[in-house]
Amino acid sequence: FCPNTAKLAGCTLFITGASRGIGKAIALKAAKDGANIVIAAKTAEPHPKLPGTIYTAAQEVEAAGGKALACVVDIRDEQQIGDAVQKAVDKFGGIDILVNNASAISLTGTLATPMKRVDLMLGINLRGTYLTSKLVIPHLLKSRSPHILNLSPPLNLNPIWFKNHTAYTMAKYGMSMCVLGMAEEFRGQIAVNALWPKTAIQTAAMDMLGGEGVAKQCRTADIMADAAYAVLTQPTDYTGHFLVDEDVLKGQGVQDFELYAVQPGHPLLPDFFLDEAPETLVQKMEEHGATPAFKPASSSATPPSAGPIESTFDVIRGVINEDVVKSTQGVYKFDLSGEHAGVWFLDLRSGSGSAGQGEPALKADVIMTMDSGDFSKMFAGKLKPTMAFMSGKLRIKGDMTLAIKLEKLMNRMAKAKL
């Protein structure tokens, strides 16, 4: 576990949705330093299915060593947020940190999502985050070490994360776009970052989505609390980052992540918006006894590795050798969308080269994002990379010189009559 360092002693944190789950875990972590915690959430009376209220959370904060202010806040209501912010300033003298944690979720397709539910997700996730930030920022600008931390994912634009739950993804990515914009807008004044879990976290929301049996595939909220603490104790020039909890803690020297597992040794369920496809997540849930409350819009018995992409990589493996590696010296990652979506790699830096499905063992020098159909055409010589790039069919991130070198390999493959 990541130890407390007392760096948040006397700081005031305004945390939305802090009556339970990850929000409360972050509150308790900061409370151990002697921080002031504003618990801004809706639950004032005990809920029949959900644990805790703002008042029980306040009691836990004070028992942990912090000072608490419990405020009934629906973050869709500008007046309620404004009142809570003013109460916080009156009681604690200011606000140093804002944690935008409150969120609503519905993993349903376009036709199955009532507009009332769409409005709820956009109202809480996107508008609520923007509005709370807008009202707290004037006070953060007076702080010596101001931070905003949104619990939202990296902006992964692979269509697989939209097709099954477009409304939820739009709403959640809205929180991430707040980070993208505000980090630049307030650079040098306020640190603005996003934090997302690498694996599923045991919360009431996860129990609802995964059903009975999902808990053992999860980590506890403590890992997010420890990662948040590490981020919030950074200087204000640490800004504009989309962070994953495990990566943050590895940077802090944490090596044993079994400490965070609900059931140590049990396989963990990757979280949304990272590299695992939705179909894979459902399969992993069901393999270990969970009953997911959502299903991908369409599924196939054919594994992602089958079909034209695997055939393309068979040819790639047939033409790469030590000479190609020596002349190229680059690692490529292909992020494919469409009918044969998935992540593939081509390592032309090590040994005799290697290629296949999944993340490269070494950090990619070039990341190419495109439709799987265009990928096959490109390596068959039917679509020039330059034309694909100019037309917007291909997005390239990284070393453009290495991207150009890849064209030589494509020409060899075309001659191999892909």
Residue 271's nearest CA partner among 246, 253, 250, 289 is 246
Rounded CA Rg of the chain = 23
pLDDT band at 299 (very low <50, low <70, confident <90, very high): very low
pLDDT tens-digit series, residues 27-51: 999 999 999 999 999 988 887 777 8
What's the average model confidence in pLDDT over 351-357? 82
Q: Is the dihedral of CA 62, 66, 71, 73 positive or negative?
A: negative
CATH architecture type of domain 308-417: 2-Layer Sandwich (3.30)
Q: Using the predicted structure, report yes or no on whether residue 81 has a pLDDT greater than 70.
A: yes
122 close to 133: Cβ distance less than 8 angstroms: no
pLDDT attached to residue 302: 37
367 close to 406: Cβ distance less than 8 angstroms: no
**Residue 287 burial by CB count (10 A; 0-12/13-18/19+): exposed, middle or buried?**
exposed
What stretches of 281-320 adopt beta strand conformation (E)? none
Residue 368's nearest CA partner among 329, 407, 321, 339 is 407
Mean pLDDT, the chain, as a whole number?
Answer: 88
Given 130, 168, 173, 229, the catalytic residue: 168
pLDDT tens-digit series, residues 181-233: 999 999 999 999 999 999 999 887 777 666 667 788 899 999 999 999 999 99
pLDDT attached to residue 16: 98
DSSP assignments along 191-241, one per residue: EEEEEE-SB-B-SHHHHHHH-TT-GGG-B-THHHHHHHHHHHTS-TT--S-
pLDDT tens-digit series, residues 355-382: 888 888 788 889 999 998 888 888 777 8
In the numeric block, the tokens 């994953």 are attached to: 244
List the chain domain ranges.
12-288, 308-417
* 130 a catalytic residue: no
CB atoms closer than 10 angstroms to residue 85: 22
pLDDT attached to residue 354: 84
pLDDT attached to residue 216: 87
pLDDT band at 141 (very low <50, low <70, confident <90, very high): very high
Q: Using the predicted structure, report yes or no on whether residue 288 has a pLDDT greater than 70.
A: no
248 close to 229: Cβ distance less than 8 angstroms: no
Q: Is the dihedral of CA 200, 206, 209, 212 positive or negative?
A: positive
Q: Is the dihedral of CA 397, 403, 406, 407 positive or negative?
A: positive
CATH architecture type of domain 12-288: 3-Layer(aba) Sandwich (3.40)
